[in-house]
Chain A
Amino acid sequence: MAGTKYRGSEIEDVDQFRKDAGGLSSEREKEIGQHIGYRYDVNLVPDYNRVTPFLKNYMEVMGWDDLNWLEDVHMGYEDGKAAVFDRNINGWVRIPDSIELPDNQQDRDMIARELLIKFQMSDRNPMVTLRKAYKKF
């Protein structure tokens, strides 16, 4: 029912959604059995002091002064696992357990950005097969 106040829960801890996969904290969330809102701060501005060498190279190759579209990429959490949303395939891609997660969201976001670019530009991305199937010949 639009117009009703359905506030989600606050993000208080960087590991909140790893410790509690459901992430149900507000009364409304418990009532509907569903977390409300994103599982990360979508408005978190990147800290440019933490940009990795790979991302610096990427910015230079693309001719950009900043992270451009990557400013909107963050490490999220799905079913208690760290993951990144790939807009090109409309799905979450998980971070392997072998990657150690830093203790702050800014550094996690930089890892997410680096992994996402490499994945999107690889032949392993489902977009490559989709393109083959649906492109104009």
Chain B
Amino acid sequence: MASLSDAELAAMTQEERVKELGLTTEPLFGRSLLIEFNPDEEERFTYPWAPDVYYNKHEEIETDGLTTTQLNNKLTALMEEGVGTITIKNPRGMHSVGVGILNRLKLVIDGSLGYFAVGLIDGPNVHIKGRVGWSCGENMMSGTVVIDKNAGSTFGAAIRGGDLVCRGSVGSRTGIDMKGGTILVGGDTGALSGFMMQRGRMVVCGNAGKNLGDSMYDGTIYVGGEIQSCGVDAVEEELTDLDKAWLTRKLQQYQMMPDKGVDHFKKIVSGKMLWNYDNLEPSEKKLIL
């Protein structure tokens, strides 16, 4: 059934497609799907549907007269042609540019972008030479994003993987609900950064606003400057040699190493006082059951 052509699938309703492809609709619970890895799997580095692109094949896009949809479609079309390096000239602070790129790609933005820049990406390396609005790199899965100037609020919200770098300062709620990956901030970050962080690493070379790491479940926040206040269950822990080695490697990688090194960084982790895997106390359960 999986051999149905795109034309055949396109002629069906979504319900028919789901049925024909043998998908089930029962809820999944993050448990084993009883699938095993195949040790002899073919070696591939990109998704099966991703076109082959070549970094030495370069194109420029002028955004004049283009809507966001047209610009994003143009990016997709160029990748289909094998273009692996794309420069967007004069981006005019457009919103939602470069969203949902699921392939390797070198993308250069020659200016500033609005909100939701390069959200939901999985693979590309992006260099934004200006500023970005809120929610840059939201839900990012992998790749690298480097912003030369400042970024708005909810920078890297719900990020799951990859490196999201802002050389300047960022707004509030940086890395809110982050589930993996690394956020690097060269300047300061606003209030409630790392709120409900579940894993991953955040590095702030400057100062952090109020309620840093509030209700964080896991993960690590490193701050080079002053912390206005830590949030609920966010506690300071001693910086280890492993932390220092990791910080040094990561900051050097993006040429963001502070002059005084990394020894002065504070490390914030979860106090794990809010961990709760059971909605009801056993005694309460007994009352109900």
- The answer to whether B137 has its CB under 8 Å from any CB of chain A is no
Check if A126 sits within 8 Å of B200, measured CB to CB: no
Query: B181 to chain A: which residues have CB within 8 Å?
Result: 69, 72
- The answer to whether A34 has its CB under 8 Å from any CB of chain B is yes
User: Which residue of the partner chain A has the closest CB to B2?
Assistant: A129
Check if B43 sits within 8 Å of A118, measured CB to CB: yes
| Among B14, B37, B162, B272, residue most surrounded by chain A Cβ atoms (within 10 Å) | B37
Check if A94 sits within 8 Å of B2, measured CB to CB: no
Query: A87 to chain B: which residues have CB within 8 Å?
Result: 141, 160-161
Check if A122 sits within 8 Å of B44, measured CB to CB: yes
Check if B42 sits within 8 Å of A118, measured CB to CB: yes
Query: Hey, what's the 0/1 contact readout for A69-88 against B, CB within 8 Å counting as 1?
Result: 11110000011000110010
Check if A96 sits within 8 Å of B218, measured CB to CB: no
A residues contacting the other copy or chain, number (CB 8 A): 66
Check if A72 sits within 8 Å of B180, measured CB to CB: yes
Additional A-B contact list (4), CB under 8 Å, known A119-B37, A126-B35: A1-B281, A43-B219, A69-B142, A72-B199
Q: Which of B47-55, B86-94, B147-155, B168-176 contacts A (4 or more CB under 8 A)?
A: B47-55
- The answer to whether B143 has its CB under 8 Å from any CB of chain A is yes
Q: Which of B25-33, B185-193, B258-266 contacts A (4 or more CB under 8 A)?
A: B25-33
Task: Tell me, rounded to whole Å, the shortest Cβ–Cβ distance linking A92 to chain B.
Answer: 5
Check if B44 sits within 8 Å of A68, measured CB to CB: no
Check if A61 sits within 8 Å of B45, measured CB to CB: yes
Check if A130 sits within 8 Å of B23, measured CB to CB: yes
Check if A43 sits within 8 Å of B253, measured CB to CB: no
Q: Which residues of B contact A (CB under 8 A)?
A: 2, 4, 6, 9-10, 14, 17-18, 21-23, 28, 30-39, 41-49, 55, 104, 106, 123, 125, 141-144, 160-163, 180-182, 199-200, 218-220, 242, 245-246, 249-250, 253, 272-278, 281-282
Task: Tell me, rounded to whole Å, the shortest Cβ–Cβ distance linking A125 to chain B.
Answer: 8
Complex CA–CA separation, A87 to B158 (angstroms):
13
User: Which residue of the partner chain B has the closest CB to A34?
Assistant: B277
Q: Which 4 A-B pairs have the closest CB atoms?
A: A69-B161, A69-B142, A121-B44, A137-B10
Given A31-B282, A94-B32, residue A66 in contact with residue B37 (CB < 8 A): no
Query: B39 to chain A: which residues have CB within 8 Å?
Result: 96, 98-99, 115
Check if B162 sits within 8 Å of A137, measured CB to CB: no
Check if A91 sits within 8 Å of B33, measured CB to CB: yes
Complex A-B: 27 CB contacts under 8 Å: A1-B281, A6-B276, A34-B278, A43-B219, A54-B43, A58-B45, A62-B45, A62-B142, A68-B144, A68-B163, A69-B162, A69-B180, A72-B160, A72-B180, A93-B33, A94-B34, A95-B36, A118-B38, A119-B38, A121-B46, A122-B41, A122-B42, A122-B48, A128-B2, A129-B21, A133-B21, A134-B14
Complex CA–CA separation, A44 to B49 (angstroms):
32
Complex CA–CA separation, A45 to B49 (angstroms):
31
Query: B35 to chain A: which residues have CB within 8 Å?
Result: 91, 93-94, 126
- The answer to whether A120 has its CB under 8 Å from any CB of chain B is yes
User: Which residue of the partner chain A has the closest CB to B215?
Assistant: A2
Complex CA–CA separation, A1 to B161 (angstroms):
31
